[in-house]
Amino acid sequence: MTKGLFTWLEEEGYMPESPVRRVKMPKIPRYVVRPLEEEQVGQLLSAINPRTSTGTRDLAILLLLLDTGMRLGELAGLTLAEGQLALKNGMLRVFGKGSRERFVPVGVTAQSALRRYIHLHRPESYTDALFLGALRAALTDEGIRQVVRRVANRAGVAGVHPHKLRHTAAVTFLRAGGDVFALQRILGHSTLAMTRNYVTLSDLDIKAAHVRASPADRFYGGRQRKLSAAS
C-alpha cells in the first residue's frame, strides 16, 4: 500500500522520485500442499457406517468433497433440487466466491452415495437445503466441519478439515492424469496461478511423470532400441 502511494505521488509530480522505488517487495512464501494419503482416505471412509441415516449423509458429504474439491460454503449452499439434478446429468451447480456460478462434474461413486442419501435417508424438511442436521435444519458451514472432524476422530486421522479434502481432491485429480486447466474450472479459480498453489506434486510424482514422458528416452532411447534390434 505504501509503495503504491509513493509511486502515485511520483507519477503525479508531487515528488521527484519515490523513496521506495528500489525497495524490493518480499516474496510471498509458497507452501507445499500436503494432501491426505490414499490409506488415510480409506480410513476416513471406513469409519462411516453407511447403513445408518447419519452415516449415509456423512458418506455423501465426504465423497462430494473428495470428488469435486468444492469449498465448504459451496457444499453447505447446495439445495435438494441441485442434488437431484446432479443425479440426472452428473453435474452439480455451485455458487462460488462472488456468487459466481459454475458446474462441477460428479463421479459415479459420489453420485451413488448422494442418491442413497436423497432417496432413502434425507428426511422431509421445511428447508430446501440438501444436507440436513439436527431438527431437520440445514447443515451450516460449522455443522459440516463438525461432521468431518467427527469422522476424522473416529478414523484416527489427524489434521483433517474440509479444505484439506479440497487439497486432496486437486492433487489426486492431477495424479490420475487430469488436466490442470480443467482443474482450474472445477475448483472455481479465477487464475491458473491460484490452482498451482493447490497442486504442488511430490518428487515421486514428478519422477513418475518423467519416466513416462522422458524426452531423451523418446528420441535417443527409441533409436537405441531400433539399433539393438537390427544387430
List, in sequence order, every residue forming a beta bridge with 115; answer none if it has no partner.
none
Can you give the pLDDT at residue 28? 47
pLDDT tens digits, one per residue of 115-138: 999 999 999 999 999 999 989 999
Residues, the chain: 231
Q: Name which of 38-52, 88-102, 142-156 the model is least confident about.
A: 88-102
Q: How many domains does the chain have?
A: 2
Q: Which of 172, 170, 197 is nearest to 186 (CA)?
A: 170
Question: Are 147 and 179 within one domain?
Answer: yes
Question: Are 23 and 127 within one domain?
Answer: no
Catalytic amino acids?
Answer: 71, 97, 163, 166, 189, 198
Label the pairing between strands 101-105 and 91-95.
antiparallel
Mean of the pLDDT values across residues 145-149? 97
Which residue carries 476422530 as its cell? 153
State the chain's mean pLDDT as an integer. 84
Q: Would you say residue 215 lies in a domain? A: no
Q: Which of 163, 133, 186 is nearest to 71 (CA)?
A: 163
Highest-confidence segment of 112-121, 165-174, 184-193: 112-121
Phi, psi of 117 (to 5 degrees): -65, -50
Can you give the pLDDT at residue 212? 75
Question: Are 70 and 164 within one domain?
Answer: yes
CATH number at residue 76: 1.10.443.10
Supply the Cα-derived Rg of the chain in whole angstroms: 24
Q: Would you say residue 86 lies in a domain? A: yes
Question: Are 97 and 182 within one domain?
Answer: yes
pLDDT tens digits, one per residue of 66-113: 999 999 999 999 999 999 999 999 999 999 887 889 999 999 999 999
Domain range enclosing 82:
38-191
Query: Nine-digit cell at 105?
Result: 462434474
Question: Are 97 and 4 within one domain?
Answer: no
Mean of the pLDDT values across residues 7-28? 62
Question: Are 104 and 134 within one domain?
Answer: yes
Q: Would you say residue 218 lies in a domain? A: no
Q: Would you say residue 196 lies in a domain? A: no
Question: Are 19 and 119 within one domain?
Answer: no
Q: Would you say residue 112 lies in a domain? A: yes
Question: Are 81 and 162 within one domain?
Answer: yes
Q: What is the DSSP letter of 123?
A: P
Q: Would you say residue 87 lies in a domain? A: yes
Q: Would you say residue 170 lies in a domain? A: yes
Question: Are 53 and 146 within one domain?
Answer: yes
End-to-end CA distance of the chain: 69
Question: Are 91 and 170 within one domain?
Answer: yes
Question: Are 51 and 150 within one domain?
Answer: yes
Report how far residue 191's alpha carbon sits from residue 55's, in angstroms, rounded to the nearest whole number: 37
Report how far residue 65's alpha carbon sits from residue 87's, in angstroms, rounded to the nearest whole number: 16
Q: Would you say residue 230 lies in a domain? A: no
Question: Are 23 and 79 within one domain?
Answer: no
